Amino acid sequence: MSNKNICVTLQYDGSRYDGWQRQGNTDNTVQGRLEAMLSKLFSQEIEVNGSGRTDAGVHAEGQVANFHVDTPYGPGKIMELMNQYLPKDIAVTDAKIVDARFHARLNAKSKTYRYRLSTGFVRPVFGRQQVLWCPEDLDLERMREAAELLTGEHDFTSFCGNKHMKKSCVRTVTSITVEEVTTSVGDTEYPEVWITFTGNGFLQNMVRIMVGTLLEVGRGERTPSDMTAILEAKDRERAGAMAPAHGLTLRKVEY
């Protein structure tokens, strides 16, 4: 047997989980499920480090995690075993051996999240757990103007859901895009708006609060220039309502 640091890429539907992070009052978290399965599978205590803590109900297409394990198996066999014993709403899409010092969260350089809005008058039935139905006429140009003011390095205290945050709230958001796309199921087309965020890190609830604020701009309830005042206020009460969790997906993590 040899000790290996295994890095895995994960997909999960977060609908029925209480978020990524292990919690003392529930075993129904993605990290908790992974650790319980791996510890039983390899008959040793295994701690899983995720690249970030997705909220309850948030999904992932490219969550990255690592764990140390004493095993003769290679990454291909480990991936096969994990997919055999994981719940059907969690899957490993890649596994590899990495340097012993690699840490999925500490070594992450950037993360990309996408929020999906279904804007047509027909409520989506299939895939509804990954998209927010928002049958409104949104002003996307105004939303893009507002998004531009939120990019760059800022103190994002106003967009942090943790009012008792003691660490720095300064983050760099490198891009926010607002794009129109069309999806289809059978002969029915569904217009969607995708809001995609890339940055070096995001605070608790930060993306969902930014989405809620941008939606208020799109509805004409705020002006794009309000974003500057909101950032400068460093006050959560100045930003918009937090968008529901189920429209948000962690798409990828860069190292």
Question: Which of these is catalytic: 13, 18, 55, 226?
Answer: 55
> What letter would DSSP give residue 158?
G
Element (H, E) at 168: none
The stretch 130-135 carries a mean pLDDT of 96
In the chain, the domains with their CATH numbers are 2-98 (3.30.70.580), 110-254 (3.30.70.660)
pLDDT of 53 over the 70 cut: yes
pLDDT of residue 188: 86
Output the pTM of the full model: 0.94
Alpha-helix runs per DSSP H in the chain: 30-42, 75-85, 140-150, 206-218, 226-233
> What letter would DSSP give residue 241?
P
Positive or negative, the Cα torsion across 122, 128, 131, 134? Answer: positive
CA 102 to chain centre: 21
Token pair in block for residue 76: 């291909």
Residue at 27: amino acid letter: D
**Whether residue 55 lies in the annotated active site:** yes
pLDDT of residue 68: 97
Nearest to 200 by CA among 63, 79, 135, 107: 107
The 10s digit of each residue's pLDDT in 99-110 is 999 999 999 999
